[in-house]
Structure 1
Amino acid sequence: MTNDVSDWWRTAIIDMEPGRIALRGHEVQDLIGQAGFAEMIWLMLRGERPDPRAAKLLEATLVAAVDHGPQAPSIATARMAVTCGLPLNNAMASAVNMLGDVHGGAGEQAVELYERIDAAGGPDAVSDEITRWRTEHGRYIPGFGHRFHPVDPRAPALMSLVERAERDGIVTGQFRRIALTIERHLAETASKPVPMNIDGATAVIHAELGFPAPLARGLFVLSRSVGILAHAWEQSQQGGRNKGPTPPRYRWTYYSDG
C-alpha cells in the first residue's frame, strides 16, 4: 500500500534521499561549478545536457530580455508592491503574474506562428499563414513591431548569433528564414516597416533549439525575473510608501456612464 504514497508524485527530474541529490541523473555535486545556469535550465527542462554552444545561444535570449524599464507593467508592479510593504518574493510574484498573453506572451505566440508556417511549407507559406493568423487572432503579428523602438536593438544582435550558429551547424536556420520572410512580407504590405522585436528574435532561437512554444513564455519569465528582482531591490533601497502608477497630483479621467 505504500506505492499509493510514493507514486502520488512521479518525476524524472530529481531523485533524492538522505545525503544524495541527483538532477536528471546527474549528482548535484558534479554539476556545481561545472554547469552554467543556462545549461541547468536546459538539463532540467529536457533531461539532457546541451551542446555548450547551444546553451550559449539560449543564454543570449535570457540576457536580452532581462528588463525594459518601469514603463513595463511587470516592472512597475514590482516597484509599487515594494512601496506597499511587500518583501522581495511577494513583489516578484506580483510582477510575474502580470506576464500574460499581451505583456509577456508574444514570444510563445511567435513560436506557434513559426511552427505553423514551417509545417505549412516554410517561407513560401508565409503570406497564406499570416492571413490565416490574422483571421483567427486579429491584425497583430507577434514578434514584430515595437511601440517604443523604431528598431529594437536586441533583435539584430540575437539574429546575428543565430546566423553564426547556423554556419557552425548548431541550428538549421529554418526558423530564422521564416522570421526574416515574415519581416519582409510585413514591410511590403504595411504602410511602414514592421521590424522584428525581442520576442520575434528570441522565438527564433527557442524554435531553432527545439523548445516547445509554451516553454518560450516560461523562459521569458525566467529572464524578466532578473529585472524584476533588480527593480524591486532598488525600490526597497530608495524607500517610498504606497506609490501608485502616477504621482498623486495627477488624476484619472472621470466620465459618467449614465
Structure 2
Amino acid sequence: MTRSNSDVSDWWSTSIIDMAPGQIRFRGHPIEELIGNVTFPQMIWLMTRGDLPTPDQARLLECALVAAVDHGPQAPSIAAARMAVTCGLGLNGAMASAVNLLDDVHGGAGEQAVELYTWIDLAVQQGADVQAATAAMIDRWQAERGKFIPGFGHRFHKPEDPRAPRLLSLIEEAAKSGVVSGRFVAIGRATQKELNTRKGQPVPMNIDGATALVYAELGFEGPLARGLFCLSRSVGVIAHAWEQMGQAERNKGPTPPQYRWTYTGENPIHEAQE
C-alpha cells in the first residue's frame, strides 16, 4: 500500500503552531513579532486560548500566576522536588516529580473551585439570588462531591490567607474598569459569607479559591485553572530545587533520620526489646 505525504503530515493536527524552514508562527503570529512585544502571561493566553489578551487582562492573569508560585518546603510538591535533588535528579527531574503531585488534593482545588463557582453563576443567571444560589450549590457540592469545599480552608493561614484579599481587590478594580464582569468575585464573597456562617468562624479563602476567581473572571475553564497553577508553582519548584542543589545533601528523606515512623504491625521492635 502506497502512502502519501499527507499520511505523515496529517498524523498530528494543530492550530497552535505552524513551522517551516526559517518560519515559526504561533496561532498565526510570526515569532519574531511576538518576541519583545508580548509578555509571558500574554503568551500563555495566546497559546491556550487562541488570541491575545488585552494588557489589562494579561496583568490580572499575571497577578494570579505570581500569587501561587510557592508555599514553602512543607508543601508536598516543593518537598518532593527538594528530595528528588538529594537523590541525584536534575532540575527537569525535580520539576517533573513536583508537578506530578499537583493532582486533585494538592493542586486540583482551583479547577474544582472554578466548577463550583460556575454552578453558582449558572443559577444566578437563571434568576436566583446570589446568596441563595451559593447556599444551594454548596449543599449540592457536599452531597455529590464530599464535605470539603474547594478553595476554602487553610492549615496555616487563619483567619485569613493574605493572598486572597489582595487578589479579590484586584479583580474588583478590574471589574470597575470593565476588564471583567465582577460576577465571580461576588460569588466568591458570597461563598465566603455562607461558609463563615455555617462554621461559626472564619473559613479562609485559600490560594486555590482566589486564583479560581481570577481564572473564572477571565474565562478560563476549570482544567486550565489547574494547568495554570502547575505553571505558577513550577517557579517555586525550580527555585527550591536549585537552592537544594547548592546545599549538597544526599538522600534527604521527609523527616530527620533520628525520628521514626509509627509501626502498626505485629511484634514491634520496642516491645521485643522490653
- Give the TM-score band, short-chain normalised: over 0.9
The 5 A counterparts of 1:166-205 are 166-205=175-214
Alignment partner, residue 137 of structure 2: 129
C-alpha contact 2:157 2:204 (8 A) present in aligned 1: no
Shift of 1:227: 0.2
Distance 1:138 1:218 in 2: 23
Q: Which amino acid aligns with 1:205?
A: V
Alignment partner, residue 100 of structure 1: 103
Which of 1 and 2 has greater Rg? 2
Distance 1:230 1:208 in 2: 29
Question: What secondary structure is seen at the aligned counterpart in 1 of 2:15?
Answer: coil
Distance 2:164 2:7 in 1: 50
Distance 2:216 2:181 in 1: 10
Alignment partner, residue 225 of structure 1: 234
1:74 equivalenced with 2:77 (yes/no): yes
Shift of the 81–127 alpha-carbon distance from structure 1 to 2, 3 Å rule, reads same
1:9 equivalenced with 2:17 (yes/no): no
| TM-score normalised by the chain length of structure 1 | 0.98
Question: What secondary structure is seen at the aligned counterpart in 1 of 2:147?
Answer: coil
Identical aligned residues as a percent: 64
Q: CA RMSD in A?
A: 1.0
Distance 1:154 1:73 in 2: 19
Shift of 1:198: 1.0
Shift of 1:121: 2.0
Alpha-carbon displacement from aligned partner over 1:106-161 (angstroms, at most 9, x marks no partner) = 10000000001111226131111100100111111011111110011000110110
Distance 1:195 1:83 in 2: 35
Alignment partner, residue 63 of structure 1: 66
Alpha-carbon displacement from aligned partner over 1:73-108 (angstroms, at most 9, x marks no partner) = 000000000000011100110111010100000100
Distance 2:107 2:241 in 1: 18
Alignment partner, residue 218 of structure 2: 209
Question: What secondary structure is seen at the aligned counterpart in 1 of 2:246?
Answer: helix
Shift of 1:257: 6.2
Residue of 258, 261, 264 corresponding to 1:252: 261
Q: Which 5+ residue runs of structure 2 have no aligned equivalent? A: 268-274
4+ runs of 1 displaced by more than 3 Å? none
